[in-house]
């Protein structure tokens, strides 16, 4: 809420309609008063600084007065939601209503009581701040909803981090927003996502250049620096800037620690420059919410890595590709089948076959073929969502279990996977890229009475896909479809 003793008023309107001593009374009541001649430029009158409210003095509610209020409302639209109060010299009972209808937020009839006017203006300012808070809260809620929807569609941790820094950087108008993986006491960090330079995915940085990051890791608390030119935390680094004649245009900095299992594992890092929008407490709170979401991402990746190690030691993984073994696929498919049947959920089984793999194997040799399969296995694991499952199904085949996915979603995934593979460099292929054929079966399916039936349906769809000269993806349809 605006401090009443620093409330700035812009006074305009007819000089003849202005109550005697109005300016002195307003100043005595604690207002700062700037005057605007009729038809003058409001922005010039206050040197570009938005006033807290505008007062217009009119003689009554005649056509000229109503037009003056309407024009003033349009003129000061450059300052959103600016309270406009009319001071009326006539006692016409309908004047107040007519002027409010013309665009005034309130109207008072002279003689003006300065305490009453101050209370009315303060009420308008309080209402404006409450409205702004409400709108900001709604915008933050909508932004968070959009961000988490986009994040839920991302499959890899680095994609999620890129989404988080991009959306926060855009929303807050930041010059810099990044995510840095590091730990307390470390001398270096690893930048895995940068808003203003999305090509940065893995860059090593010296933490001594970023005292706010070191402080956030040390205290395990958010660090908010309003002005790096004055804050003591930046004293040493400022000396280095000066000694090396480095021109640094940094204004404020925020470092929000991100935790995994209670231990700092990284920092969500924001900086603004001169001319950038000022970061508010609400902005920092929004970024902190995003940092907590990043913590969940890191925890999921940590659990996934631990699960991978346990599966490898238990023989549940295919050694060459790193995907699940055939036995693990059988167990997972049965579990997913029972879960979907019991809770009336849907899922898809996809069988992928690497086209012309035997030809590549014969031409390049088995070692090169193994390297190609290993690369494909890594791409599959990287592209899957957390609940998805991939196994090596045969020599050159992979099987995917995609929970809560319909046939269209499975087709879209295979198409996107093909696009990713086409952009990957396979050294043994000299610029060529392997392609897939895919058979898809969506559960529930009238012919899938047992988990084993899904394999038969997917294999039949795969055979159909391989025989197709165009679309290499086939879906097991219901009888008569």
Residue 162: phi and psi, rounded to 5, are: -60, -40
Q: Which pLDDT does position 430 carry in this prediction? A: 84
Q: Are residues 293 and 323 in the same domain?
A: no
Confidence class for position 377, pLDDT limits 50, 70, 90: very high
Q: Please determine, for residue 181, whether its predicted confidence score (pLDDT) is greater than 80.
A: yes
Instruction: Identify which of 224, 233, 331, 330 has the alpha carbon closest to the alpha carbon of residue 278.
Output: 224
Residue range 115-144: mean pLDDT, rounded: 71
- Decide if 149 is inside a domain: no
Residue-wise pLDDT for 385-396, tens only, equals 878 899 998 889
In this structure, what are the phi and psi dihedrals at residue 12, rounded to the nearest 5 degrees?
Answer: -145, -175
Beta bridge partners of 324: 317, 391
Lookup: tokens for 221: 């608390």
Phi and psi torsions of 231, nearest 5°: -70, 135
Buried-state track 206-223, b at ≥16 Cβ within 10 A, e below 16: ebeebbbbbbbbeeeebb
| Sign of the C-alpha dihedral computed for residues 243, 247, 251 and 256 taken in this order | negative
Report whether 373 contacts 437 (CB < 8 A).
no
My answer on whether 300 and 321 are in the same domain is: no
The Cα–Cα gap between 325 and 312 comes to 10
- Number of domains composing the chain: 3
How many CA atoms does the CB half-sphere of 411 hold within 13 Å?
12
Confidence class of residue 152 from pLDDT cuts 50, 70 and 90? low
Provide the strand spans (E) within 261-336: 263-273
Nearest alpha carbon to residue 348 among 226, 476, 229: 476
Residues 97 and 162 in one domain: no
Q: Are residues 224 and 185 in the same domain?
A: yes
**137, part of any domain:** no
Note the pLDDT of residue 2.
40
Average pLDDT over residues 5-23: 80
Q: Are residues 283 and 200 in the same domain?
A: yes
- Using alpha carbons only, give the angle 159, 162, 163 rounded to the nearest 5 degrees: 85
Which among 185, 183, 180, 179 is positioned nearest to 164, based on CA atoms? 179
Give the residue with greater pLDDT, 199 vs 140: 199
Of residues 86 and 311, the one with the higher pLDDT is 86
Q: Which domain holds residue 125?
A: 4-131
Residue 214 has pLDDT above 80, yes or no: yes
| 441 in the same domain as 332 | yes
**Spatial strand order in the sheet of 188-194:** 203-206, 188-194, 176-181, 263-273, 250-260, 223-225
Closest Cα to residue 360, out of 395, 320, 393, 319?
395
* Domain C-terminal end among 253, 275, 304: 304
Does any domain span residue 309? Answer: no
Counting residues of the chain whose pLDDT is more than 90, the rounded percentage is 22
Query: Token pair for residue 450?
Result: 């047992």
Does 466 map to a domain?
A: yes
pLDDT of residue 438: 95
Residues 267 and 257: beta-carbon distance below 8 Å? yes
The mean pLDDT of 190-195, rounded to a whole number, is 88
In DSSP terms, 11 is beta-bridged to: 35, 55
> Could you give phi then psi for residue 228, rounded to 5 degrees?
-70, -20
The encoded tokens of residue 243 equal 């000694």
Contact 150, 171 (CB under 8 A): no
pLDDT of residue 135: 61
Q: Which of 272-286, 304-318, 335-349 has the lowest mean pLDDT?
A: 304-318
Which domain CATH number covers 457?
3.30.70.270
Note the residue count of the chain: 481
294 and 323 share one domain: no
63 plus 160 within the same structural domain: no
β-pairing verdict for 223-225 and 203-206: unpaired
Of 263, 282, 279, 260, the closest CA to residue 271 belongs to 279
3 state SS of 324: strand
Q: End of a domain among 257, 285, 304?
A: 304
Tell me which residue of 435, 441, 452 sits closest to 400, measured CA to CA.
441
**pLDDT at position 156:** 60
Average pLDDT over residues 237-263: 83
Quick one: pLDDT at residue 3? 42
Judgement on whether residues 265 and 358 belong to the same structural domain of the protein = no
Instruction: Write the CATH number for 190.
Output: 3.30.450.40
CATH number of the domain encompassing residue 20: 3.40.50.2300
Instruction: Write b or e for each residue in 359-390: b if 16 or more Cβ atoms lie within 10 A of its Cβ, otherwise e.
Output: ebbeeeeeebbebbbbbbbeebbebbbeebbb
Residues 214 and 352 reside in one and the same domain: no
Maximal CA-CA distance, the chain: 101
Residues 171, 77, single domain; the answer is: no
Residue 137: the pLDDT is: 60
Q: What is the CA radius of gyration of the chain?
A: 33
Whether residue 5 has pLDDT greater than 50: no
């Amino acid at each position: 809420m605006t401090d009443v003793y620093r409330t700035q008023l812009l006074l305009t309107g007819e000089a003849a309609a202005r109550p005697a001593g109005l300016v002195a009374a307003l100043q005595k009541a604690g207002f700062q008063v700037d005057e605007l001649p009729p038809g003058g430029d409001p922005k010039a009158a206050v040197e570009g600084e938005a006033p807290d409210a505008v007062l217009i003095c009119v003689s009554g509610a005649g056509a000229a007065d109503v037009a003056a209020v309407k024009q003033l409302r349009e003129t000061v639209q450059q300052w959103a939601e600016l309270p406009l109060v009319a001071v009326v010299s006539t006692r016409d009972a309908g004047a107040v209503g007519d002027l409010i209808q013309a665009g005034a937020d309130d109207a008072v009839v002279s003689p003006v009581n300065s305490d009453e006017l101050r209370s009315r203006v303060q009420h308008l300012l309080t209402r404006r701040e409450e409205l702004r808070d409400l709108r900001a809260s709604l915008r933050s809620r909508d932004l968070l909803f959009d961000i988490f929807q986009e994040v839920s569609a991302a499959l890899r941790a680095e994609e999620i981090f890129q989404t988080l820094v991009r959306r926060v950087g855009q929303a807050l108008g930041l010059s810099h927003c990044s995510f840095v993986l590091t730990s307390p006491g470390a001398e270096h960090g690893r930048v895995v996502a940068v808003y203003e330079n999305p090509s940065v995915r893995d860059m090593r940085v010296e933490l001594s250049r970023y005292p706010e990051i070191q402080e956030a890791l040390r205290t395990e608390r958010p660090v908010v620096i309003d002005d790096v030119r004055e804050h003591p935390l930046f004293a040493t680094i400022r000396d280095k800037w000066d000694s090396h004649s480095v021109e640094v245009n940094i204004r404020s900095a925020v470092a929000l620690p991100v935790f995994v299992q209670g231990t700092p594992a990284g920092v969500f890092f924001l900086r603004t420059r001169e001319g950038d929008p000022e970061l508010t407490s609400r902005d920092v709170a929004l970024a902190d919410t995003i940092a907590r979401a990043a913590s969940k991402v890191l925890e999921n990746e940590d659990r996934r890595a631990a699960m991978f190690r346990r599966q490898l030691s238990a023989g549940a993984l295919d050694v060459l590709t790193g995907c699940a073994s055939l036995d693990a696929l059988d167990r997972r498919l049965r579990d997913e089948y029972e879960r979907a049947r019991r809770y009336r959920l849907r899922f898809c089984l996809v069988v992928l076959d690497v086209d012309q793999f035997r030809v590549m194997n014969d031409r390049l040799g088995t070692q090169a073929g193994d390297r190609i399969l290993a690369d494909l296995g890594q791409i599959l694991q990287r592209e899957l969502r957390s609940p998805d499952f991939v196994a090596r199904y045969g020599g050159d085949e992979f099987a995917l279990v995609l929970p809560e996915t319909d046939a269209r979603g499975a087709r879209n995934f295979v198409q996107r996977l093909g696009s990713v593979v086409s952009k990957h460099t396979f050294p043994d292929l000299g610029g060529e890229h392997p392609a897939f054929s895919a058979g898809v079966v969506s559960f529930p399916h009238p012919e899938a009475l047992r988990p084993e039936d899904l394999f038969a349906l997917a294999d039949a769809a795969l055979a159909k896909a391989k025989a197709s000269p165009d679309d290499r993806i086939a879906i097991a349809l219901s009888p008569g479809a």
